[in-house]
Amino acid sequence: MQRARSGPHPHRCRWARVVVAGALALGAGSALVPAAWAQQEGGGELEAEAFARGSGIYLLDLQYDKPRQIAVGREPYVEHFWYVTFVLANQDSEDHPFFLEVSAESDKGVTYRPVQHPEVERIVRGRLGLAEGEPLWTAADLTIRHAEQPLPPRFPTEIVEPVIRAGQRLRCVAIFKGWHPEANHLTITFRGLTNDVRLEPAGRPHERKLLERVFRVEYYRPGDEFFPHIEALQFVGHRWETVERVVKTDLE
């Protein structure tokens, strides 16, 4: 299981990236990855624990496994899925409401979004050796929940975010439909590991540019379309990236 250690970030105006120390072991059951945070301004390296707490900025600890493939049903009615299991941990002394979105994209332009599938989840639970009643968080647990709304929806709408308690570890799975047989590269993106985001003017009324950090994990699949198994994926690396998108706002 690969690990990306994170810690609180003291200033919203300063961005950081993960610097991986040492070689990365591949696949499930691999050694944990030691990591440090490096300041982009100044070039100095600081261990995660060196950042001051109490800033309101958090970063969740992430440990992830290699993607696995799964088939449900019998021929000729077989559905193909793939999934990635991971553990979220809150190493702070306070609870954090959060919103985590996991997605993926291949080098062939195929985008993957999580799906809910009880049978796949049941098989994954068995592979993980989870006892009955032992929690396994899925996309439905990791994102915002609210009551069903009429159309058009009423405002304001109460938004209910999941909460990770202080010191809590959550076993999670992201399930995806299908696997592109011609894909050579796969990038998995975790958005929401930190609440360190910035809003900047977009140059147009009622719009703002939102800057946030996402965590990407990249794999390479050797072979060709005649050897399409996802189990052959090789770990390439992981990294933090700053991404931006334009959001609508009531502000001028």
Non-local (6+) Cβ contacts of 74 within 8 A are none
Binned at pLDDT 50, 70 and 90, residue 182 comes out as confident
34 has pLDDT over 60: no
What's this model's pTM, rounded to 2 decimal places? 0.74
The number of C-alpha atoms within 13 Å of 8 and in the hemisphere containing its C-beta is 17
pLDDT of residue 230: 58
The SS3 call for residue 240 is strand
Strand 163-164 and strand 68-74: pairing? unpaired
- pLDDT surpassing 80 at residue 17: no
pLDDT value of residue 85: 95
**Helix%, strand%, coil% for the chain, nearest 5:** 10, 40, 50
What is the length of the chain?
Answer: 252
- What CA–CA distance (Å, rounded) separates 136 from 121? 9
- Residue 22 reports pLDDT greater than 50: no
Q: pLDDT tens for residues 108-119?
A: 899 999 999 999
User: β-pairing, 61-64 with 111-112?
Assistant: unpaired
Q: How confident is the prediction for the chain on average, in pLDDT? A: 74
Q: For residue 1, is pLDDT > 50?
A: yes
Query: What's the total number of domains in the chain?
Result: 1
Amino acid at 43: G
Q: What is the mean pLDDT of residues 126-151?
A: 83
Which range of residues forms the domain containing residue 184? 2-146+153-248
Q: Which residues neighbour 242 within 8 Å (Cβ) at sequence distance 6 or greater?
A: 15, 211, 212, 213
Tokens of 175: 């399930």
Q: 215 — alpha (psi -120 to 50), left (phi > 0) or beta? A: beta
Most confident of 57-66, 192-201, 216-225: 57-66
d(CA 72, CA 78): 6
CA distances from 145 to 137, 139, 148, 157, 188 (A): 14, 11, 9, 11, 23
Could you tell me the pLDDT band of residue 186, with boundaries at 50, 70 and 90? very high
Pairing relation of β-strands 197-201 and 207-220? antiparallel
Report the b/e string of 21-31 with b at 16+ CB within 10 A.
eeeeeeeeeee
